[in-house]
Protein backbone atom coordinates (compact mmCIF):
# COMPACT_ATOMS: atom_id res chain seq x y z
CA UNK A 1 0.00 0.00 0.00
CA UNK A 2 2.79 2.45 0.86
CA UNK A 3 4.62 1.63 -2.35
CA UNK A 4 1.51 2.52 -4.36
CA UNK A 5 1.21 5.78 -2.44
CA UNK A 6 4.86 6.67 -3.04
CA UNK A 7 4.67 5.76 -6.70
CA UNK A 8 1.58 7.88 -7.30
CA UNK A 9 3.69 11.02 -6.85
CA UNK A 10 5.87 12.41 -9.62
CA UNK A 11 9.04 10.27 -9.76
CA UNK A 12 11.41 12.98 -8.53
CA UNK A 13 9.23 13.78 -5.51
CA UNK A 14 8.81 10.09 -4.69
CA UNK A 15 12.61 9.64 -4.79
CA UNK A 16 13.15 12.62 -2.51
CA UNK A 17 10.46 11.43 -0.08
CA UNK A 18 11.96 7.94 0.12
CA UNK A 19 15.42 9.42 0.59
CA UNK A 20 14.11 11.67 3.35
CA UNK A 21 12.83 8.60 5.19
CA UNK A 22 16.12 6.74 4.70
CA UNK A 23 18.11 9.73 5.99
CA UNK A 24 16.24 10.53 9.19
CA UNK A 25 13.96 13.16 7.68
CA UNK A 26 16.49 15.78 6.56
CA UNK A 27 18.19 16.47 3.22
CA UNK A 28 20.40 19.22 1.85
CA UNK A 29 20.53 20.54 -1.70
CA UNK A 30 23.65 18.48 -2.42
CA UNK A 31 21.82 15.28 -1.39
CA UNK A 32 19.03 16.01 -3.85
CA UNK A 33 21.49 16.94 -6.62
CA UNK A 34 23.20 13.56 -6.19
CA UNK A 35 19.93 11.66 -5.88
CA UNK A 36 18.26 13.14 -8.95
CA UNK A 37 21.48 13.79 -10.89
CA UNK A 38 20.33 17.31 -11.57
CA UNK A 39 21.51 20.90 -11.19
CA UNK A 40 21.29 22.81 -7.91
CA UNK A 41 18.48 25.06 -9.24
CA UNK A 42 16.45 21.99 -10.28
CA UNK A 43 17.07 20.35 -6.90
CA UNK A 44 15.92 23.48 -5.06
CA UNK A 45 12.83 23.66 -7.30
CA UNK A 46 11.88 20.07 -6.38
CA UNK A 47 12.54 20.77 -2.70
CA UNK A 48 10.35 23.88 -2.86
CA UNK A 49 7.52 21.87 -4.45
CA UNK A 50 7.51 19.55 -1.43
CA UNK A 51 7.55 22.60 0.83
CA UNK A 52 4.54 24.14 -0.93
CA UNK A 53 2.70 20.82 -0.61
CA UNK A 54 3.36 20.84 3.14
CA UNK A 55 5.42 17.65 3.08
CA UNK A 56 8.60 19.35 4.30
CA UNK A 57 9.75 22.46 6.10
CA UNK A 58 12.35 24.36 4.09
CA UNK A 59 15.08 26.59 5.43
CA UNK A 60 17.85 28.34 3.58
CA UNK A 61 21.44 28.72 4.72
CA UNK A 62 24.41 30.49 3.23
CA UNK A 63 27.69 28.63 3.58
CA UNK A 64 30.71 30.63 2.41
CA UNK A 65 28.65 32.47 -0.19
CA UNK A 66 27.04 29.26 -1.45
CA UNK A 67 23.28 29.17 -0.82
CA UNK A 68 22.03 25.85 0.51
CA UNK A 69 18.50 24.62 1.10
CA UNK A 70 17.70 22.15 3.85
CA UNK A 71 14.39 20.31 4.01
CA UNK A 72 13.00 18.43 6.99
CA UNK A 73 9.98 16.16 6.94
CA UNK A 74 6.96 18.06 8.28
CA UNK A 75 5.37 16.91 11.54
CA UNK A 76 2.24 15.38 9.93
CA UNK A 77 4.57 12.98 8.09
CA UNK A 78 6.75 12.05 11.07
CA UNK A 79 5.18 8.56 11.25
CA UNK A 80 7.27 7.64 8.20
CA UNK A 81 10.36 7.98 10.42
CA UNK A 82 9.01 5.64 13.10
CA UNK A 83 10.08 2.08 13.86
CA UNK A 84 6.50 1.05 13.13
CA UNK A 85 6.72 2.38 9.58
CA UNK A 86 10.14 0.84 9.03
CA UNK A 87 8.88 -2.55 10.18
CA UNK A 88 5.77 -2.24 8.03
CA UNK A 89 7.80 -1.36 4.94
CA UNK A 90 10.13 -4.33 5.50
CA UNK A 91 7.15 -6.69 5.82
CA UNK A 92 5.63 -5.30 2.63
CA UNK A 93 8.92 -5.70 0.75
CA UNK A 94 9.22 -9.30 1.93
CA UNK A 95 5.68 -10.06 0.83
CA UNK A 96 6.45 -8.78 -2.67
CA UNK A 97 9.51 -11.02 -3.09
For residue 3, the model assigns a pLDDT of 56
Burial 44-80 (b: 16+ CB within 10 A, else e): bebbeebbeeebbeeeeeeeeeeeebbbebbeebeeb
The pLDDT averaged over each successive group of 10 residues in the chain (97 residues) is 62 93 95 96 96 96 83 95 86 70
Question: Where do the structural domains in the chain lie, given as residue ranges?
Answer: 34-86
Amino acid sequence: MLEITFDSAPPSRAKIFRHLIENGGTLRTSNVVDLLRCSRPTARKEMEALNVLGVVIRRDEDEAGQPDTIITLAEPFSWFLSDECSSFMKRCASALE
